[in-house]
Amino acid sequence: METTEEQTSEFDRGIALAERPGEPDSYEGHLGAGWQVAAAVNGGLLLATVGNALRRAFQRDGHPDPLAVSAFYLSAARPGPAVVRTEVLRRGRSMCTGTASLVQDGGAGPVERVRATATYGDLAALPSDVHTAGAPPDLPPPERCLGTEQAPPGFAANVPILERLDLRLDPDCVGWAVGKPSGRGLLQGWLRLADAREPDPLMLLLAVDALPPAAFDLGVTGWTPTLELTAYVRALPAPGWLRVRISTSHFAGGLLEEDAEVWDSTGRLVAQSRQLARAGRP
């Protein structure tokens, strides 16, 4: 189906892929400068991009949705052309598993940016029972949370992705932005795409890595590049705001884990993730 640029959202254009003629299971995309954090393209956008390639590989088998995706970030992706190649590992009745590799021209030749493995299925076909011991973050309404336009001057200047997102952080979790981290390692807030494109499983792959690092709340400043991130998509999200909570508990040896939970507007957990990231000293 052809759609014009006017009809598609920024996010759908951001993860768009075209089949490479004569190269089966190979796709070409363009990583937009608008999805950068500092000089690198955001890891969540990369996850959604490789997730989009695997969706194309598996949706014809009736397995359109990522259930579990693990990505290793091998080198920082830059704005510009990218090629994604997929390989099917297993086609099952209820689930399929495959790998996707995102590669860019590194100047002296192709350089792999991301290697992902993922299991796909059909979220709509799963049994409807839900038992959860957790609860969505307890947040003030979006209009009483802090949008990035209220961030200190210069905060968003180096983070173009913030313009693609409507992110409203819990005022109780933003002390780090004025030099007063709480030390809890916790950030939470409301999230939707700035152009109001509704959430779906691929957008959830962006959502799990869309907030500022939880490490900021430990007083760790600067870039915390992800080494590995695993996301589980647990349900099809309802339209509307998402609530996202990220937290970190163990900082050691210059590495920390960050857990994310994404809850939809009906109060259902729709995605969870954990990543291992590298950071300076707190």
Provide the CB-side half-sphere exposure for 8 (13 A, CA).
Answer: 12
Q: Closest distance between its own copies and the C-beta of residue 264, in Å?
A: 12
Please, which of residues 49-108 interact with its own copies by CB under 8 A?
67-68, 70, 72, 74-75, 89-90, 95, 97, 99
CA 212 to chain centre: 12
What is the rounded distance in angstroms from the CA atom of residue 115 to the CA atom of residue 203?
Answer: 19
Distance CA 171, CA 152 (A): 13
Asked if 174 is part of the footprint of its own copies (rule: CB under 8 A), the reply reads no
CA quadruple 73, 75, 80, 84: dihedral sign: negative
Interacting positions 144-173 with its own copies (CB under 8 A): none
Contact flag: residue 117 with its own copies (CB under 8 A): yes
Residue among 42 and 97 whose Cβ is closer to its own copies: 97
> Which SS3 state, helix, strand or coil, does residue 90 take?
strand
Q: Where are the beta strands (DSSP E) in 194-239?
A: 226-233
With CB under 8 A as the contact rule, the residue among 14, 160, 185, 201 that binds its own copies is 185
Query: What one-character DSSP code corresponds to residue 199?
Result: P
- Sign of the C-alpha dihedral computed for residues 119, 125, 127 and 129 taken in this order: positive
Instruction: Select from 16, 76, 126, 194 the one that contacts its own copies (CB under 8 A).
Output: 126
Whether residue 104 contacts residue 82, with contact meaning beta carbons closer than 8 Å, is answered with yes
Nearer to its own copies, 216 or 251 (CB): 251
DSSP 215: G
CA distance 191 to 53: 24
What is the C-alpha to C-alpha distance for residues 249 and 164, in angstroms, rounded to an integer?
29
In sequence order, the β-bridge partners of residue 100 are 86, 116
**Nearest residue (CB) to its own copies, 33 versus 89:** 89
Give 40 or 218: the residue with its C-beta nearer to its own copies: 218
Binding mask 209-248 for its own copies (x = CB under 8 A): ---------x--------xx-x-x-xx-------------
Question: 3-42: which residues touch its own copies (CB under 8 A)?
Answer: none
Choose which of 184, 194, 197, 223 interacts with its own copies (CB under 8 A): 184
Q: With beta carbons less than 8 A apart as the criterion, state whether 101 and 70 touch.
A: no
265 makes contact with its own copies (CB under 8 A): no
Q: How far is the CB of 8 from its own copies (least distance, A)?
A: 29
Give the interface with its own copies as residue ranges (CB under 8 A).
67-68, 70, 72, 74-75, 89-90, 95, 97, 99, 112, 115, 117, 119, 123, 126-134, 184-185, 218, 227-228, 230, 232, 234-235, 249-255, 257, 269, 272, 274, 276, 281-282
